[in-house]
Amino acid sequence: MKHFLDIADFSAEEIRGMLTLGLELKAEQKNGQSRPLLKDKVLAMVFQKPSLRTRVSFDMAMRTLGGDALYLSPQEIGLGKRESIADIARVLSGYVNVVMARVFAHDHILELAKWSSIPIINGLSDYNHPCQAMADALTIMEEFGDLKGRTVTYIGDGNNVALSLMKVVTKLGAHFRIAAPENFGLSANDIEQSLQFAQLSGGSITQFHDPSAAAEGSDVIYTDTWTSMGQEEEAKMREKVFPPYQVNQTLVNLAKPQAIVMHCLPAHRGQEITDEVADGPHSRLFIQAENRMHAQKAILINVMNGIEDDAK
């Protein structure tokens, strides 16, 4: 069974293949030439966490490819509470062709994949966000042609978005920098894994506490919210720690002249990013958001082709 759970599960060639397909599908859609590659296929979208981009981008990806999507709210499913995850996975396997789940605990994604007889796509967990990383890489590729040799700098909390970004850029030969406050960086185990990817691809990883040093000479400046869903009780503490890590024009000026600024959204304007940057000439925030749909079209086709291949 071909799931999409973690960037680490895929080779650089597989990732590049999906990204290239995503860009081709984007160009086709812009020209009104979308192909019904998933005709009569149905995606079930299981949500524990709300999302504008994940819900609409997956729904529209399926519609564009000739398929359909079903939204299942937390109240309808009660993942692991109202009904066991094993039972939910097996029930959905009898109804639909593929499941995307956006959850809190990463174990829930792994449990769905264990019991499902159809592909499971990780739409987000507290551990990682591989669909976002694919859209991020697609955006960088669209801008620069390739990631190899580019410097991608993440400023802020070492969260699930930062982790998947690190994995995809090191897989593809880019230089990953992260500037985070002490005790808010990425784990040593995750960095060690991505260092192995970087050794194979010619990339690198550098950790900073000083955001200005990290931003200098970068091709990409990336940031995210200081407080993720599920961390609300830490919000006041984090608002005291993270202000030096704001992405503002002064910081962006340290990057290369053609640098782009990215944010997975939703943005807390005036906190991790200023209006001047979010709406400025370096910003790719809304292209990046649109690219969720195009990257996910490629992911859906990739996992669904696994079913077709097995059936041959």
pLDDT less than 50: residues of the chain: 306-312
Whether 32 and 152 map to the same domain: the answer is: no
What pTM value is reported for the model?
0.95
292 a catalytic residue:
yes
**Based on the structure, what is the number of domains in the chain?**
2
Active site residue 63: no
Per the structure, the complete domain to which residue 228 belongs is given by 132-289
Residue among 131, 292, 294, 296 flagged as catalytic? 292
- Are residue 281 and residue 190 in the same domain, yes or no? yes
Q: For the sheet containing 98-102, what is the strand order?
A: 68-72, 42-47, 98-102, 120-124
User: Is 246 considered catalytic here?
Assistant: no
Q: Are residues 236 and 160 in the same domain?
A: yes
Identified catalytic residue from 29, 264, 288, 294: 264
Do residues 171 and 278 both lie within one domain?
yes
Which of 222, 154, 166, 173 has the alpha carbon at shortest distance from 194? Answer: 166
CATH of the domain at 66: 3.40.50.1370
pLDDT digits (tens, 9 = 90+) for 234-282: 888 999 999 999 999 999 999 999 999 999 999 999 999 999 999 999 9
pLDDT at 308: 47
- Note whether 125 and 175 are same-domain residues: no
To the query of whether residue 129 is one of the catalytic residues in this protein, the response is yes
Give the residue from 237, 211, 216 showing the smallest Cα distance to 226: 237
Q: Which amino acid is at 153?
A: T
Catalytic residue among 29, 48, 132, 271: 132
- Do 24 and 160 fall into the same domain? no
Instruction: Specify the pLDDT at position 231.
Output: 75
59 catalytic? Reply is no
| Per-residue model confidence (pLDDT) at position 252 | 98
Q: What is the pLDDT of residue 78?
A: 77
Q: 208 and 262: one domain?
A: yes
194 lies in the same domain as 258: yes
Identify whether 177 is a catalytic site residue.
no
Domain match, 96 and 190 both: no
The per-residue pLDDT for 262 is 99
